[in-house]
C-alpha cells in the first residue's frame, strides 16, 4: 500500500459506520467498556482529540508521515466507535511504537484503547510499556483481565510484574491461572530478588541427543511458539544440559545429521543463585543471546535472554550514576519526569546532608590558617581554582575506576599497577597545569595588576607547586578509593564523587597553606 492509498484510507475512516465491540472481548470487560464509552465520556474524548490535533499540527514527523498512527487518530476512531478499524491499524504497528503511543494517552483513554486491542497485540505492547504505565493498567484491571495478561505474557515478564503487586492480588491471580502457569510462576517468585533465578524463564526449546536435524527442526516448530527464543536450542536428557545447538547450525546441516554431531557440549552456564549483574556481564563477555541456568543440583531449569541482560546492565549503570552524583538510588527504576518532586528531593537530600556536614572539616582547615588570609589576602583568590582543579582530577580517575570495575577491566588486585600508572599520569598533568597557572599568575600580576602585590613570583611558585601536588593527591585518592571499596565489599560508586571531593578539598587546602608558609615564612 503506497502513501496515497494510506491517505485515502485515513480520510475514509470518517465515513465508516459505527462498529460493535469485538465479539472476543469478555463480557465483564465489554460492560466496563460500555461504561467508559458513554456520551459524557465521548465529549471528553473530543476535547482530548482537539488538544492532540493542536500538538500534532507542529510535529514535523507527523507532517512528513501523514499516514502514521497518532494519538488524535486513535481518539478519533474511539469517538466514531470504529472499533474494528482501531484494531486493524494497531495490528500494523510495531509493539514498541504502539506502547509509546499508548503512553501518550491519559490513564482512562489508555485503558479503553488497551481493552479494545487484540489480546496478542495488547500483550506485546504491554511488555514494552514503562513501569508507571503498566502499573496504571494493572491497578485498573479486573481479575479476568489480569489473569488473561499473565497467561499471554512470557513467564519471566509475568513474574516481574507479580513481584511488585500486593500479596493478596498475586494470590488471587495465581489461583485463577492455569496449573502449569501457577507452578512455573511460584518457582520464579521464590528465587531471591536480583538473582539469576528471578530473571530466567523456563520457556525454551528442548531437544534430544538421539534426534537428527530434521527431527530437531520439527521439534522447534512445535515448541517455538511458546519459547522465549528459537535461535539457541538446548539438548537435554533427564533435566541435564548436554549441549546447545544454534538455529544457524541446524539450517546449514544435512537433515539426517545427528544432533549429537553438531551440538556444542562445552556449555557456559550460571547458577540460579548468581547475581543478575554477574550473569549480564558473562553474557556480554561471551556475546551470548541466551544463557542457560542450572539449579544447585546441576539441573537445567531455564534461560536468561539478552533483552533481560540489557535491562540489568542499564539499571546497574543508572544506579552507579546516581550514586556518583550523590543521589540515593530509587527502589524502583523510573523516568525523570515519572518521578515526583518529593521523591527527587528525598533521593538527593541524605547524601547532600552528609557532604555538607563533612565540608565542616574543610572549614576548620581554612579557619586554622586565618592568619595567612590577613597577611596574604591574595592567597584566598586562588583557593577555588585549586580545589576545583583537584576535585575534577579526582573525579576523572574515579569515573574510569568505577567503569573499569563494573566491566571487569580492573580488579582490586591491580592496586599497585593503578598506583604506578596514576603516579606517572598525575605527575605529567600536575606539571602542565602547575606551569600554566604559575605563568598566568606571574604575567597577570606583573603587567596587568603591576605594583599591587609584592613578591609575585612567590605567589606563582606557591600555586604551581600546590597544584602539582594536589593533582597527584587527587589522582591517587580518586583511583585508590574505588578499588579499596570493592575490596571491602562496598559499592565503588559510593566512593566516587561524594567522598573524593570532600577528601581532596581538605587535603589540597592543607598542602596549599603549608607550601605558602614555607615560601612566605617571613610574611606570615
Residue 250: is it exposed, middle or buried by C-beta count within 10 angstroms (0-12/13-18/19+)? buried
- Domain finish residue from 254, 286, 311: 311
Q: Is residue 240 part of a domain?
A: yes
Report percent pLDDT > 70 for the chain. Answer: 90
**Residue 332 — φ and ψ, nearest 5°?**
-125, 130
Q: Is residue 212 part of a domain?
A: yes
The better pLDDT of the pair 177, 211 is held by 211
pLDDT at 460 (0 to 100):
92
204, 280 contact by CB (below 8 A): no
Q: What is the CATH number of the domain that holds 281?
A: 3.10.580.10
Q: Is residue 344 part of a domain?
A: no
Which residues face 236 on adjacent strands? 241
Written as nine digits, the cell of 30 is 465489554
Q: Is residue 72 located within the same domain as residue 221?
A: no
pLDDT at 471 (0 to 100):
94
Least confident of 108-112, 172-176, 325-329, 463-467: 325-329
- Domain finish residue from 108, 140, 172: 140
pLDDT in tens, 106-132: 888 899 999 999 988 998 898 888 878
243, 210 contact by CB (below 8 A): no
Q: How far apart are CA 166 and CA 316, in angstroms?
A: 25
The conformation of residue 19, written as its DSSP 8-state character, comes to: -
Report percent pLDDT > 90 for the chain. Answer: 35
Q: Is residue 254 part of a domain?
A: yes
Q: Is residue 370 located within the same domain as residue 500?
A: yes
Q: Is residue 304 located within the same domain as residue 364?
A: no
- Domain finish residue from 248, 283, 311: 311
**Order of all β-strands in the sheet with 300-305:** 270-271, 290-294, 300-305
Q: Is residue 134 located within the same domain as residue 9?
A: yes
Q: Is residue 225 part of a domain?
A: yes
Rg (CA), the chain: 32
> For the whole model, what pTM was predicted?
0.64
Q: Is residue 306 located within the same domain as residue 365?
A: no
Domains identified in the chain, total number: 3
Close Cβ partners of 315 (under 8 Å, ≥ 6 residues apart) = 333
Helix (H, G, I), strand (E, B), or coil: what is residue 446? helix
Q: How far apart are CA 387 and CA 273, in angstroms?
A: 45
Which residues face 207 on adjacent strands? 235
CA atoms within 13 A on the CB side of 1: 9
Q: Is residue 364 located within the same domain as residue 268?
A: no
pLDDT-based confidence at residue 240 (cuts at 50, 70, 90): very high
pLDDT at 395 (0 to 100):
86
Question: What is the domain extent for residue 397?
Answer: 359-519
Whether 262 has a pLDDT exceeding 90, the answer reads yes
508, 386 contact by CB (below 8 A): yes
Q: Is residue 368 located within the same domain as residue 507?
A: yes
pLDDT at 33 (0 to 100):
83
Written as nine digits, the cell of 6 is 494510506
Which residues face 234 on adjacent strands? 206, 244
Least confident of 268-272, 436-440, 499-503: 499-503
Q: Is residue 282 located within the same domain as residue 376?
A: no
pLDDT at 243 (0 to 100):
96
Outline where DSSP puts E strands in 104-189: none
Residues 292, 293, 296, 298, Cα dihedral to 10°:
-20
Written as nine digits, the cell of 500 is 573524593
Q: Is residue 399 located within the same domain as residue 472?
A: yes
Whether 35 has a pLDDT exceeding 90, the answer reads no
Q: Is residue 248 located within the same domain as residue 363?
A: no
Q: Is residue 320 part of a domain?
A: no
The conformation of residue 154, written as its DSSP 8-state character, comes to: -
Whether 257 has a pLDDT exceeding 50, the answer reads yes
Q: Is residue 381 part of a domain?
A: yes
Q: What is the CATH number of the domain that holds 488?
A: 1.10.357.20
For the stretch 32-64, what's the b/e string if a residue is b when 16 or more beta carbons lie within 10 angstroms of its beta carbon? bbeeebeeebeeebeebbeebbeebeeeeebee
Least confident of 57-71, 75-89, 187-201, 310-324: 310-324
Helix (H, G, I), strand (E, B), or coil: what is residue 242? strand
Q: Is residue 417 located within the same domain as residue 497?
A: yes
Q: Is residue 302 located within the same domain as residue 376?
A: no
Angle made by CA atoms 277, 282, 285, in degrees to the nearest 5? 125
Amino acid at each position: 500500500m503506497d502513501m496515497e492509498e494510506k491517505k485515502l484510507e485515513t480520510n475514509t475512516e470518517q465515513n465508516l459506520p459505527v462498529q460493535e465491540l469485538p465479539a472476543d472481548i469478555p463480557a465483564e470487560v465489554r460492560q466496563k467498556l460500555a461504561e467508559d464509552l458513554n456520551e459524557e465520556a465521548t465529549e471528553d474524548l473530543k476535547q482530548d482529540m482537539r488538544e492532540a490535533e493542536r500538538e500534532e499540527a507542529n510535529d514535523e514527523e507527523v507532517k512528513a508521515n501523514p499516514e502514521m498512527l497518532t494519538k488524535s487518530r486513535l481518539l478519533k476512531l474511539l469517538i466514531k466507535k470504529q472499533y474494528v478499524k482501531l484494531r486493524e491499524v494497531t495490528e500494523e504497528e510495531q509493539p514498541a511504537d504502539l506502547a509509546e503511543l499508548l503512553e501518550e494517552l491519559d490513564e482512562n483513554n489508555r485503558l479503553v484503547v488497551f481493552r479494545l486491542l487484540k489480546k496478542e497485540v495488547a500483550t506485546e505492547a504491554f511488555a514494552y510499556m514503562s513501569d508507571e504505565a503498566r502499573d496504571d493498567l494493572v491497578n485498573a484491571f479486573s481479575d479476568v483481565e489480569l489473569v488473561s495478561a499473565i497467561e499471554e505474557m512470557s513467564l519471566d515478564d509475568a513474574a516481574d510484574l507479580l513481584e511488585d503487586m500486593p500479596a493478596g492480588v498475586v494470590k488471587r491471580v495465581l489461583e485463577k491461572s492455569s496449573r502449569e502457569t501457577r507452578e512455573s510462576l511460584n518457582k520464579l517468585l521464590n528465587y531471591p530478588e536480583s538473582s539469576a533465578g528471578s530473571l530466567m524463564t523456563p520457556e525454551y526449546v528442548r531437544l534430544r541427543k538421539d534426534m537428527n536435524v530434521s527431527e530437531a527442526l520439527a521439534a522447534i516448530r512445535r515448541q517455538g511458539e511458546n519459547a522465549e527464543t528459537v535461535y539457541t536450542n538446548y539438548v537435554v536428557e533427564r533435566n541435564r544440559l548436554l549441549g546447545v545447538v544454534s538455529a544457524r547450525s541446524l539450517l546449514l546441516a544435512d537433515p539426517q545429521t545427528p544432533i549429537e554431531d553438531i551440538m556444542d557440549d562445552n556449555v557456559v552456564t550460571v547458577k540460579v543463585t548468581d547475581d543478575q549483574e554477574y550473569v549480564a556481564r558473562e553474557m556480554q563477555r561471551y556475546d551470548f543471546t541466551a544463557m542457560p541456568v542450572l539449579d544447585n543440583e546441576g539441573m537445567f531449569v531455564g534461560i536468561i535472554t539478552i533483552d533481560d541482560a540489557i535491562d540489568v546492565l542499564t539499571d546497574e549503570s543508572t544506579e552507579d550514576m546516581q550514586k556518583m552524583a550523590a543521589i540515593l538510588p530509587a527502589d524502583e527504576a523510573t523516568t525523570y519526569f515519572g518521578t515526583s518532586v518529593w521523591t527527587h528531593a528525598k533521593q538527593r537530600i541524605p547524601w547532600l546532608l552528609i557532604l555538607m556536614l563533612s565540608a565542616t572539616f574543610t572549614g576548620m582547615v581554612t579557619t586554622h590558617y586565618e592568619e595567612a588570609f590577613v597577611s596574604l589576602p591574595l592567597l584566598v583568590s586562588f583557593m577555588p581554582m585549586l580545589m576545583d582543579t583537584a576535585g575534577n582530577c579526582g573525579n576523572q580517575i574515579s569515573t574510569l575506576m568505577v567503569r573499569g570495575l563494573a566491566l571487569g577491566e580492573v580488579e582490586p588486585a591491580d592496586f599497585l599497577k593503578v598506583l604506578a600508572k596514576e603516579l606517572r599520569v598525575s605527575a605529567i598533568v600536575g606539571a602542565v597545569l602547575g606551569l600554566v597557572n604559575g605563568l598566568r599568575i606571574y604575567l597577570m600580576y606583573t603587567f596587568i595588576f603591576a605594583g599591587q602585590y609584592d613578591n609575585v613570583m612567590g605567589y606563582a611558585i606557591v600555586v604551581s607547586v600546590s597544584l602539582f601536588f594536589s593533582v597527584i593527591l587527587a589522582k591517587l585518592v580518586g583511583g585508590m578509593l574505588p578499588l579499596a571499596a570493592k575490596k571491602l565489599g562496598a559499592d565503588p560508586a559510593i566512593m566516587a564523587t561524594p567522598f573524593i571531593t570532600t577528601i581532596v578539598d581538605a587535603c589540597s587546602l592543607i598542602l596549599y597553606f603549608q607550601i605558602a608558609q614555607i615560601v612566605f615564612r617571613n610574611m606570615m
